[in-house]
Structure 1
Amino acid sequence: MGNFSKGNLLDFSVTVNEKPAYLLPRTEHAKIYAKFLKVQASEASLSLDSDLKQFLEWIFAFTNADWQRVWGDARRSRYSSAEERDEMVLRYLLEQGIKRYTPGVPSSDDVRDWSVRIAPIRDIVSYSVGANIDSASQNPLLALPKVPFASGVDEGDIADLLDRLVKLVKDADQLSLSKTPAGEAAKRLVAAYAGYGSYWDALVECDAPLDEPFMIKTQEKRGLHLAEPGETVQNGLVRGSNWAWRKASSQLVVVGDAKSNHVNVRVADPNVELYAKGVRILNERYEKHDRGPDFQTATPELLSFYYSAQREGGRPHRVWLNLPLRTSLSGSTSRWVILLMTSTALVAFASFLFHWFNAGVNRTIGAGDVAVILVPSAIAASLLLVRESSTLNAEITKRWTVVTGFILLALWVFTMLMYGANKVDWGGGNKMRSSMPLVELVAVERVVR
């Protein structure tokens, strides 16, 4: 019914012929995926035995919650070294264990040896669909704790299983270069193996009329992912900085699963618009490719494009959309007004500092200076606080808002400190205020006497 990134689905629904359909369990998905690879291997004359087929089922059924707890969100970035990667895998295997592993627990030497053996698979998968540290296809060691081995196994048995998997994927990758039916089957095998580690094809149970046309509809909600395509957690990299000056949303969409795929991206927020000139369509490795869409139009409110199966040179199965966002003209107007008010206060403050350092011992701030600093600051602060802003617009302008608010607060604090230190010249008010207590004290003493 559709291809989705592995993870939680928000408000997902699917209907077939206007009737609800029901997703198959995750393990059933994995079994069907493994059967598909078995068929492709047979057509390509490659060896895929029952033990390897069962291993593939657990690779495709892998869930990353336990692995994420070991790796940790703070360190979810590209592996800095092979040693660090092997250390995290060892911790994961020690916590989860390997069923019927006769040595008891794997050693660091075992993990290092297994990691070297699967290096060709990591390279093939990373090139095919991009690096993803949560993909068991890229790192089959992650699926070992889930495999229900029928009898006792040792490090040699696991090494043999990994070698057979590596041979299958390597042979298929080499055979996929040939323009033969076997090469086409091998190409599908490699694409399916690499893709099913990071994505899944939704399979549903439903009743469909086979003698008449019918409609299939899928619906889901996605997070905005305000980061570059290669900086999302979903793809094994840390999320982009939330404090970047320019914000862009990245979305992965399928454009190669039908005769023609039409994609429309609309901005419903009136305070936000697309930066049309900065829109990019990238491949799964986050690179710009020559196979662009058959038609594309981009405006501040809408991005629309489509791919067709008749396109010469083929088309990608998935593409990344990099969508730069910015505030609309109406939203930018209030920002420029606030910036003008804040700049006025800063200019007055800078002028005062210049005269203050050249005033010698008598360093005071006049009432006019206070008014020029505080009045624009008060207006800017009121506009900053009361202006209407959506959640998305607030996220896009967060850095600008925080910097402006900090400057306004600093100006107010400076003025209050000067007032508290009696450094504000009110045109004689200071002398009267300082002499009044003495006059009152003398008057009271005279009355008592």
Structure 2
Amino acid sequence: MAENTVNLIDDRQITAWLIARGLDWRVRSVEAITVDSATSCSRRRSLQATPLRTVLADVPGLQLDADTSHAFIALNVATVPRGPLVDFDIEGPLGDAWLLPRQEIAARQALFLTSMASSFHPSPSSDLVTLLTAILGFTGEFFSSREAVALEDYLSVGIGQAPSATFLEHCRSVANDCRHVLRPHLDRFHGYSAPENPTLALPELVANGLIAMEAQATTVLEEYRGLILAADSAATPEAEVFLEALADYGNYYDLIAAMRIPLDEPFMVKYSERRDLKLSWPRREGRQELVIADAQSNHATFKVTDPNVRISVFQAVQMTSDEFAVGAFQSRKDQQSRAIYAHDPDRDFRIRFRFQLGLLRRLQTIPYVATALLVLLSLALLHEKPEQLRDLALIVGPAALAASVLLVREPSTLGSRLRLTSSLLLAIALGVLVLVATFLYVRGLLCA
């Protein structure tokens, strides 16, 4: 039977529709976090989707022919932190998929937000849509310390001219109002963001000739503030979704990729990436964020690959505290892996895995026992004060045991990182023993 394929990639309305109705077509998400090094971890995610013909039938103005069996379409695969993607790979149900450009993703997110805002702000101007798109696509950094001075310098460099005092005061006023409304909708504060201060997106718009300074910029900033305040006062489900999404887009963005899919069959999208991992010292504690409410059910696993490493502490906690996450149930537990399952409609949207890693107990005990032995030998030398070389050699001989422990090579950088404290203590004890023996021998020679 012939396969008829329609190209829907350029239709931004479809992507916005699918973002707004994610739970209608996202059946299950399975995410695997694998800690395989001391500084990063591998993240793999598969998204299982229901046939999309029924979902797409409700898109305004879209008609699919009955003989159309497949479609090229842009899907929001996941929500990921802002920043570069490392070791990124994505695969659609029928072959390769390709990630949309960042600004194109921002344009589709802006369309989703304006559709949510249609009930309380029905007619956004083209300048407001342009500003909103630039805000969502903003990739720069801004430091809020010494904000008054930093904002003036930021605009002077970005626009090429010093802004007036009146314009700066208006920018700060807009930022304060937007921050006051949006900040409570964050699950966790990551830093100053463009949705909280839309002025950050102005230099790009001015440089591209899309917004003129200062009158047009003042007008569009005021309209953006009016949009935020209107959502805050509307207190409707659409307004709540709008504010939560806009606040969240300050720290994250939708990973939107184009791919070929079957319209009448369930399908799966897979992607993988590598994210940073920071282990505290000396507790060797780390954290990883993940979303557990963007599908009808979410499964997540956490594991370590080094056979010498174990998970000593593991908790699924809320973003803003160490309270247990709502709706995340641990379904599996062993020495090197954990698994959770989430399906409750009222579960947290985003959570953190808080974990502590350690070496296997038998491997962790050996260097500390060797350290204690070397310390005791050093104390014995200081107490007995032998000066003959054969006596010193007999007592210091066990130092070879410590040296052999220090020379053991772990199969991963993670194992080496976890051995840092014990190896450091053992090396210090070994050095003290050698110094004490050397001191006693030299003293014996001088006294002879």
Q: TM-score, normalised by structure 1?
A: 0.72
Partner Cα separation in structure 2 for residue 365 and residue 47 of structure 1: 94
Q: Which residue of 2 aligns with 1:397?
A: 419
Q: Which residue of 1 aligns with 2:97?
A: 21
Aligned amino acid, residue 91 of structure 2: T
Partner Cα separation in structure 2 for residue 280 and residue 304 of structure 1: 11
| Corresponding residue to 2:264 among 182, 206, 211 | 211
| Corresponding residue to 2:278 among 194, 209, 226 | 226
Residue correspondence of structure 1 range 98-137 to structure 2 within 5 A: 98=159, 104-106=161-163, 111=168, 114-127=171-184, 128-133=186-191, 135-137=193-195
Residue correspondence of structure 1 range 309-320 to structure 2 within 5 A: 311=344, 314-320=346-352
| DSSP-derived class of the 1:203 partner | strand
Q: Which residue of 1 aligns with 2:253?
A: 200
Residue correspondence of structure 1 range 426-437 to structure 2 within 5 A: 431=448
Partner Cα separation in structure 1 for residue 296 and residue 431 of structure 2: 58
Partner Cα separation in structure 2 for residue 346 and residue 326 of structure 1: 24
Structure 1: gaps of 5 or more residues: 72-78, 177-182, 228-240, 357-363, 432-449
Q: Which residue of 1 aligns with 2:361?
A: 329
Q: Which structure carries more strand by proportion?
A: 2
Residue correspondence of structure 1 range 273-288 to structure 2 within 5 A: 273-275=310-312, 278-288=313-323
Asked which structure has the greater RCO (Cα within 8 Å, sep 6+), the reply is 2
Partner Cα separation in structure 2 for residue 3 and residue 321 of structure 1: 17
Partner Cα separation in structure 2 for residue 124 and residue 367 of structure 1: 77
Aligned amino acid, residue 153 of structure 1: M
The answer to whether the Cα contact below 8 Å between 1:18 and 1:215 also exists between their aligned partners in 2 is no
1:153 lines up with 2:185 in the alignment: no
How far residue 193 of structure 1 moved from its aligned partner, in angstroms, is 0.8
Aligned residues: 369
Q: Which residue of 2 aligns with 1:297?
A: 332
Residue correspondence of structure 1 range 239-258 to structure 2 within 5 A: 241=280, 244-258=281-295
Partner Cα separation in structure 2 for residue 271 and residue 288 of structure 1: 30
Aligned amino acid, residue 366 of structure 2: V
| DSSP-derived class of the 2:398 partner | helix
Question: Deviation digits for residues 65-96 of structure 1, max 9, x if unmatched?
Answer: xx37xx5xxxxxxx6xxx5244444443343x
| Corresponding residue to 1:264 among 298, 301, 304 | 301
Question: Deviation digits for residues 404-436 of structure 1, max 9, x if unmatched?
Answer: 3233224324443554xx3036xxx963xxxxx
How far residue 20 of structure 1 moved from its aligned partner, in angstroms, is 0.9
Aligned amino acid, residue 238 of structure 2: A
Q: 1:389 to 1:343 in 2, by over 3 A?
A: farther
Question: Deviation digits for residues 366-408 of structure 1, max 9, x if unmatched?
Answer: 6577347632333212211235452101112323322332332
How far residue 260 of structure 1 moved from its aligned partner, in angstroms, is 0.7
| DSSP-derived class of the 1:222 partner | strand
How far residue 110 of structure 1 moved from its aligned partner, in angstroms, is 5.8
How far residue 37 of structure 1 moved from its aligned partner, in angstroms, is 1.1
How far residue 294 of structure 1 moved from its aligned partner, in angstroms, is 4.4
How far residue 188 of structure 1 moved from its aligned partner, in angstroms, is 1.5
Q: 1:294 to 1:281 in 2, by over 3 A?
A: closer
Q: Which runs of 4+ in 1 moved over 4 A?
A: 107-113, 156-160, 351-356, 364-369
The answer to whether the Cα contact below 8 Å between 2:316 and 2:325 also exists between their aligned partners in 1 is no
Q: 1:326 to 1:85 in 2, by over 3 A?
A: farther
The answer to whether the Cα contact below 8 Å between 2:88 and 2:274 also exists between their aligned partners in 1 is yes
Residue correspondence of structure 1 range 67-78 to structure 2 within 5 A: 67=141
Partner Cα separation in structure 1 for residue 164 and residue 429 of structure 2: 56
How far residue 26 of structure 1 moved from its aligned partner, in angstroms, is 0.9
Greater CA drift, 20-29 or 381-390: 381-390
| DSSP-derived class of the 1:292 partner | coil
RMSD: 3.0
Partner Cα separation in structure 1 for residue 149 and residue 432 of structure 2: 47
1:169 lines up with 2:228 in the alignment: yes
| DSSP-derived class of the 1:321 partner | strand
Partner Cα separation in structure 2 for residue 126 and residue 163 of structure 1: 19
| Corresponding residue to 2:397 among 353, 356, 375 | 375
Aligned amino acid, residue 224 of structure 2: L
Question: Deviation digits for residues 93-124 of structure 1, max 9, x if unmatched?
Answer: 343x226xxxx213788656633531243344
Aligned amino acid, residue 221 of structure 1: R
Q: 1:304 to 1:417 in 2, by over 3 A?
A: same
The answer to whether the Cα contact below 8 Å between 1:126 and 1:132 also exists between their aligned partners in 2 is no
Partner Cα separation in structure 1 for residue 335 and residue 180 of structure 2: 39
How far residue 54 of structure 1 moved from its aligned partner, in angstroms, is 0.9
Partner Cα separation in structure 1 for residue 203 and residue 263 of structure 2: 42
Select the structure of larger CA radius of gyration.
1
The answer to whether the Cα contact below 8 Å between 2:367 and 2:422 also exists between their aligned partners in 1 is no
Structure 2: gaps of 5 or more residues: 1-76
Question: Deviation digits for residues 227-269 of structure 1, max 9, x if unmatched?
Answer: 4xxxxxxxxxxxxx5xx11112321112111111111112221
Q: Which residue of 1 aligns with 2:444?
A: 424
Q: Which structure carries more helix by proportion?
A: 1
**Alignment identity in percent?**
27
Greater CA drift, 85-94 or 342-351: 85-94
| DSSP-derived class of the 2:338 partner | strand
How far residue 324 of structure 1 moved from its aligned partner, in angstroms, is 1.5
